Structure 1
Amino acid sequence: MSADPVTPPARNTRPPLAQAALGVGVIVEDGRGRVLLGRHHSGTWELPGGKVDATHESIAAAAARELREETGLVVDEAAVDVIAMVHDAIGGINRVSMAALVRLASGVPEVTEPHLISTWRWTVPEELPAPLFDPSAQILAAWRPELGITHPPAHVLRIATDENSA
């Protein structure tokens, strides 16, 4: 008896065992070259961002959604430039953080999740506050390695964009 050619093999229909967490950190740069950082109640400073939904959400869509949910700033998915993938491991799980860049001419961020973030602040990249949340530090270092940001070791894969491949 032969297999039905329309039915995919069973291994294509079973989800793999979870071994990774996928997130996105959004570098929001204003017209003056400053970046947006939030002060988490734990004491660290972090970029807006979070988990990529396990739907069919793209990285750019997740970045736009997280930015809107966390700061009230609204950007179109097309305005999100995914620039790098950062990979490390924590607690035996691969952590994959996508670095996204958004440039805004203007905007006033709001604290929309006061149970997590106490304030949002525009900061000159050369004067970043400490301590930074590790994934945010890794993403900022992937974006601007010349800043010499201290962070846990991570693998970085830069993603060519129209802007940086020209």
Structure 2
Amino acid sequence: MTADPRGALPRNTRPPAAQASLGVGVVVQDGQGRILLGRHHGGTWELPGGKVDPTHESVAAAAARELREETGLRVAADDVTVFAMVHDVVAGINRISMAALVQVDTAVPRVTEPELIRTWRWIAPEELPRPLFDPSAQILAVWRPDLAIEHPAAHHLPIAHAPQALP
């Protein structure tokens, strides 16, 4: 590999101009079939989740980390099923949201980031509150298309079959 004539990094190691954001949204489902949603101070309801760290962190590891950081709930990355990629564009930036699913028998989430989230609630998927945070709505629509969730247009790519939603 040869160095760039301008003295910059070689082409294969030079980062591209930023044009995308990579995050993960986690559908956490309990033994009663309810899902965990947080009420953001901005008024929307959202899934736990956040950005995938640029540290060679896998999407499943990011999902487990974000879940722990935001709710205090601990799951192993091996217990996370990444089931889809959702892509839309916001303000000229490609937003890639990875959709993940975790199933727990029972759990008591804590508000660990009170500057962001007011409360966490277990909610039946058929009784989703409004308004939903757009990436969360997009992920939930891929997870349960039968719910006819309104959301901004997005492309999605199934990665794995999400385990059957509990009744």
- For normalisation by structure 2, the TM-score amounts to 0.91
Q: Distance in 2 between matches of 1:76 and 1:109?
A: 16
1:111 aligned residue:
111
Query: 1:67 maps to what in 2?
Result: 67
Q: Deviations over 1:6-31 (max 9, x none)?
A: xxx92101011110000000000000
Per the alignment, in what secondary structure is the counterpart of residue 11 of structure 1? coil
SS of the counterpart of 2:53? coil
In percent, how many aligned pairs have the same letter? Answer: 70
> Take 1:64 and 1:3, find their aligned partners in 2: how far apart are those partners?
40
Shift of 1:48: 0.2
Q: Give the aligned partner of residue 99 of structure 1.
A: 99
Aligned with 2:73: secondary structure?
Answer: coil
User: For the structure 1 residues 58 and 3, does the alpha-carbon distance in structure 2 shift closer, same or farther, using more than 3 Å as the test?
Assistant: closer
Which stretches in structure 1 are left out of the alignment for 5+ residues? none
Amino acid at match of 2:160: A
Task: State the Cα distance separating 1:106 from its structure 2 match.
Answer: 1.1
User: What is aligned with 1:122?
Assistant: 122
Residue identity opposite 2:66 in structure 1? E
Counterpart-to-counterpart distance in 1, 2:46 and 2:156: 19
Written as runs of structure 1 = structure 2, the 5 A alignment for 1:42-61 is 42-61=42-61
Count of residues in correspondence between the two structures = 159
Q: Which residue of 1 aligns with 2:142?
A: 142
* RMSD of aligned residue pairs (Cα, Å): 1.8
Q: Give the CA deviation at 1:122.
A: 0.3
Distance in 2, matches of 1:35 and 1:81, equals 15
Do the aligned residues in 1 keep the contact of 2:52 with 2:59 (CA within 8 Å)?
Answer: yes
Gap regions ≥5 residues in structure 2: 4-8
Q: Residue by residue, what CA displacement relative to the aligned partner does 1:33-76 show, whole Å, maximum 9, x if unpaired? A: 00000000000000000000011000000000000000000000
Q: If each structure's helix is expressed as a fraction of its own residues, which one has the higher value?
A: 1
TM-score by length of 1: 0.92
